[in-house]
Structure 1
């Protein structure tokens, strides 16, 4: 009996042991599955990390390219800004020259108007003087005629006086 009891205990122990083995095997299988899943996930993470490192390197290169491009564009902007300032100054100078030219044109126009006014006055004075001269000629002719007549009368009187003496 003792032997049966021992056998029974042994069977119970073996059964417990088998249950534990199965449980441990199940846990081991779960751990192996988990290990495999983690290994796959880790491999994926490593691949993703590698891809991200490549993308990061590309992004850094693109950033550096953008910085260089930005630097050259900034230099270009500064040159354009200088050119704009230069052209603004030139435009301001041209505008001042234009204003001075306009002032000179207005002054010349005033002078021309003044010359025309004086010319018109001189023409009016010349016309008036010509009219006065014509009147003076008419008077001079009348005086000349009167003098000729007077001379003729004096000569006739002299001739008469000479004949009478």
Structure 2
């Protein structure tokens, strides 16, 4: 399949800059350093979601504890486990929010097969009126509502 250069497309069909070429994809497949920068580009331009998506190994006892913990006035009810909220290919442990407790959030941190429940203060970063959905001093980029799954 031939992919035309963006300059040859009508203005209304031209992709947002920077344009991703087949050569970019080929190089990303063979060069890990380039692949990492390529993924960062995809995330920053909104072409890729900035989340890992791994499912937590939540035990029945941990789920019962998540339901029992009392939250503040703006806290949420427990609705079940979410997926890892960190960026793709992140190192070390996974983290998934279980429920907002106001002004903290109950998270599960895991490396298979062990998971531990943590109550962490909410991140205070704000972008265009949206508050980051991670915890205070989290690793990696901020994540704002609508960016994850």
Same fold by TM-score greater than 0.5 = no
| Greater percentage in strand | 2
TM range (shorter): under 0.3
TM-score between the two structures when normalised by the length of structure 2: 0.13
TM-score between the two structures when normalised by the length of structure 1: 0.13
Please tell me whether Structure 1 or Structure 2 has the larger radius of gyration of its CA atoms.
Answer: 1
| Greater percentage in helix | 1
